[in-house]
Structure 1
Amino acid sequence: MSDRAPRSVERQLPTDEARDLISLVREIAHREIAPRAAEEEDAGRFPREIFTLLSESGLLGLPYDSEYGGGDQPYEVYLQVLEELAAARLTVGLGVSVHTLACYPLAAHGNKEQRAEHLPAMLGGGLLGAYCLSEPSSGSDAASLRTRAVRADGVAARDGGAAGASGAGRGGDWVIDGTKAWITHGGVADFYTVMARTGAAGARGITAFLVPGDAAGLSAAAPEKKMGMKGSPTAQLHLDGVRVSDGRRVGEEGQGFAIALAALDSGRLGIAACAIGLAQAALDEAVGYAADRRQFGRPISDFQGLRFLLADMATQIEAGRALYLAAARLRDAGLPFAKQAAMAKLHCTDTAMQVTTDAVQILGGYGYTADFPVERYMREAKVLQIVEGTNQIQRMVIARHLAGPEGR
């Protein structure tokens, strides 16, 4: 197994606080995350204790308001933290990104009372979140979701007035039924941000809810058996008469789909940063191996064909990093960034797939074995082209910004 030390990326950071933050993340990644990554991924073990440590270290709420336990960090800094975590282990970097995504609806659209009640525990109290939009029959076509939430007074009248643990039966509460699919942290999360239909068909009939992980009627199926990221549980989530108070409705009725899309714009930047972290880890491994491996009496890094391949890998990584940071700076300035977020997600995840494939090629037969991490990186990279909007969807988003919607 490779024990090669990762290279430190030279970063332009806006403040001394941000530089100290990156140093802390690198220390945690080097000491706590990377040494166990290969073994735990092979065993399919979810590192919950790492997320507890990250929460205690103030790293699970970085882009949110310190009034509610966040870190007040701009996305420019937060995303570089994600990149460092993903370079050590994608399960951790992606897990932090998903948690941040799950917190976004409440942080951006919750009222002051909701934020004060729930956000401190979500951002720095050790809780872990999941985001529930996709369903078995609605992935890319998310607006066709079927999970339904109805007012609990109607349910209470139907079942004789029985009230659930959340105080259902008071008229303002909700009962949710349905199945969500491809849920990262499904079965291990402490809270789920759930999009459910409360009105007519289409995007305007969807509302967002904050569902506690221990709610009665909430259960997770067995985790999916995946090609990569085996340590990150992905599962269907079943909601069977789950009752939540109206105080856990986030935003207005019918606003949920707009909230979901806004969350995904930011989430796609998280995926982009994780992809570049993974690609950087693969490049570092390939460069180190090429310097050590000798053929025909000299290091294989002396051969021009391989040197050009490494140069192309490094160039694509730097381009991806610049692209996601440019999008992040637009977001931090309060400017539109959805097109740039789609571009970053598209380019960075395609780069991760190409770079990890090239790293396997550079290592040759060794790259195809579990003795070196690049085979795992290659397997993990594939999912990044699929999650939070496939790369085909990203192309549709970009084209819509350039040429307008189809069928005008």
Structure 2
Amino acid sequence: MSNLTEQQEQEVMMLDALDRFLETQVKHQVRQLEHDDEYPHEIVEMMKEMGLFGCIIDQEYGGLGMSTSTYAKIVERISTTWMSLSGIINSHLIMASAIQRHGTPEQKNHYLPKFATGEMRGAIGLTEPDTGTDLQAIRTVAKREGDHYIVNGAKTWITNSKEGTCVALLVKTDPTAEPRHKGMSWLIAEKGPGFIVTRKLQKLGYRGIDTCELSFEDYKVPVDRLIGGVEGVGLKQVLSGLELGRINVAARGVGVANAALQEATSYSQIRKTFGKPICEHQAIQLMLGEMATRVEASRLLVESAAKAYDRGERCDMEAGMAKYFATESAVTNSMDAMRIHGGYGYSKEYNVERLYRDSPLLTIGEGTNEMQRIIIAKQLIERNPV
């Protein structure tokens, strides 16, 4: 008789199915899709069928109701094969989670079932051309006129904004409010007149997924699409969503770091110098030992943050630690893998060069790693007063 709980059995089944899917349906396509910067439409349709777009949406809304811990394992596995693919569900699930946590009953009942199936796919609209980390400085304004908001402004670096159907849009409903965050609100912005995808951004890595600039010109949003139905709490809602986003990016870091380790471990047993495989040289062994330790330490930090999130605890410090360490591990492991591969690591014939191009984004996205260290320090002081 199995000693696993129903939730654990569901996790095992999902991860096994995901492993088969990645091995048989995704792995052989990655190099071409990434090279062509082509959106993986067929793969996305299969992801819908697997229920991945609803993996952490509650079962009452048609989702799988999985824990954040399981979600992090899903993201790690996807990112080990192709990091870009994880971004398609990440932004979507941050928006879904925001509605699930903060939305009105009507918003939950209308949007979450459609999100769970992937019929609607969401994005997060925070960053603006001159405002990255300082979200309180955004200039996109939503002015209420009757039963609608009229939105004018611009956003940039918005993943899923071309192929998706809606955006959780951070706006100023009161641009004169002091402090500034009291004038910020979060809107469910479905595509329509005035919602303009101005261009797809060309990127060093993280290719194959749509990351775009957006413009809003007298774009109308019904008042009942204000998340939670209350103005002025948008930034607070966003910050709780970023905890999930940082756990996701940390899990991506584990995936990329692990992929680099796998590539290096395999190659070091095949490549020979001075009459023996390079894995027998002490210099290579030292690198592999550090790479493996980084992966395992990163994985444990992600698990700790995910469990705290599942318990409903404030976890900006835990998520920040996981995001900072795991993504730096991805950068370092990808470089080490390239060095172990020698000249071949610089060739597009091997996966290592893609990992090397993908990893830097993880140190920047969802809050820079410099900001993560500041958050960790501030929380450390706050939790340990003298």
Output the TM-score relative to the length of structure 1. Answer: 0.89
Q: How far, CA to CA, are the matches of 1:147 and 1:32 in structure 2?
A: 41
Q: Does 1:278 align with 2:256?
A: yes
1:122 positional shift: 1.2
Alpha-carbon displacement from aligned partner over 1:274-327 (angstroms, at most 9, x marks no partner):
111111111101100000111111111110110110010000010000000011
Aligned with 2:316 (options 317, 330, 338): 338
What's the counterpart of residue 54 of structure 2? 61
What's the counterpart of residue 3 of structure 2? none
Asked if 1 retains the 8 angstrom alpha-carbon contact of 2:302 and 2:322, the reply is: yes
The one-letter code matched in structure 1 to 2:120 is L
Q: How far, CA to CA, are the matches of 1:362 and 1:121 in structure 2?
A: 46
Alpha-carbon displacement from aligned partner over 1:61-91 (angstroms, at most 9, x marks no partner):
2112111121111111111011111111111
Alpha-carbon displacement from aligned partner over 1:181-221 (angstroms, at most 9, x marks no partner):
111122221111101000134111111111113x1111112
What's the counterpart of residue 239 of structure 1? 216
> Considering only aligned residues, what root-mean-square deviation do their CA atoms show, in Å?
1.5
Q: How far, CA to CA, are the matches of 1:308 and 1:45 in structure 2?
A: 38
Q: How far, CA to CA, are the matches of 1:228 and 1:125 in structure 2?
A: 25
Asked if 2 retains the 8 angstrom alpha-carbon contact of 1:94 and 1:274, the reply is: no
Asked if 2 retains the 8 angstrom alpha-carbon contact of 1:187 and 1:219, the reply is: no
What's the counterpart of residue 295 of structure 1? 273
What's the counterpart of residue 338 of structure 2? 360
Q: How far, CA to CA, are the matches of 1:394 and 1:151 in structure 2?
A: 35
What's the counterpart of residue 20 of structure 1? 13
Unpaired runs of at least 5, structure 1: 1-12, 153-170
What's the counterpart of residue 402 of structure 1? 380
Asked if 2 retains the 8 angstrom alpha-carbon contact of 1:183 and 1:236, the reply is: yes
1:404 positional shift: 4.5
What's the counterpart of residue 198 of structure 1? 173
Aligned with 2:137 (options 144, 152, 167): 144
1:403 positional shift: 2.3
Q: Does 1:177 align with 2:147?
A: no
Q: How far, CA to CA, are the matches of 2:235 and 2:287 in structure 1?
A: 43
Q: How far, CA to CA, are the matches of 1:197 and 1:301 in structure 2?
A: 57
The one-letter code matched in structure 2 to 1:77 is T
Identity %: 31
1:35 positional shift: 1.0
What's the counterpart of residue 166 of structure 1? none
What's the counterpart of residue 51 of structure 1? 44
Greater helix share, 1 or 2? Answer: 2
Asked if 1 retains the 8 angstrom alpha-carbon contact of 2:54 and 2:118, the reply is: no
Asked if 1 retains the 8 angstrom alpha-carbon contact of 2:140 and 2:171, the reply is: yes
Q: Does 1:134 align with 2:127?
A: yes
Q: Does 1:379 align with 2:379?
A: no
**Superposition pairs of residues 246-261 of structure 1, within 5 angstroms:** 246-251=223-228, 252-261=230-239
1:14 positional shift: 6.3
Alignment length (residue pairs): 375
Output the TM-score relative to the length of structure 2. Answer: 0.94
1:127 positional shift: 2.4
Unpaired runs of at least 5, structure 2: 1-5
The one-letter code matched in structure 1 to 2:169 is V
1:94 positional shift: 2.2
Asked if 2 retains the 8 angstrom alpha-carbon contact of 1:286 and 1:363, the reply is: yes
Asked if 2 retains the 8 angstrom alpha-carbon contact of 1:127 and 1:190, the reply is: yes
Aligned with 1:79 (options 72, 81, 85): 72
Q: Does 1:347 align with 2:322?
A: no
Q: Secondary structure at the match of 1:187?
A: coil
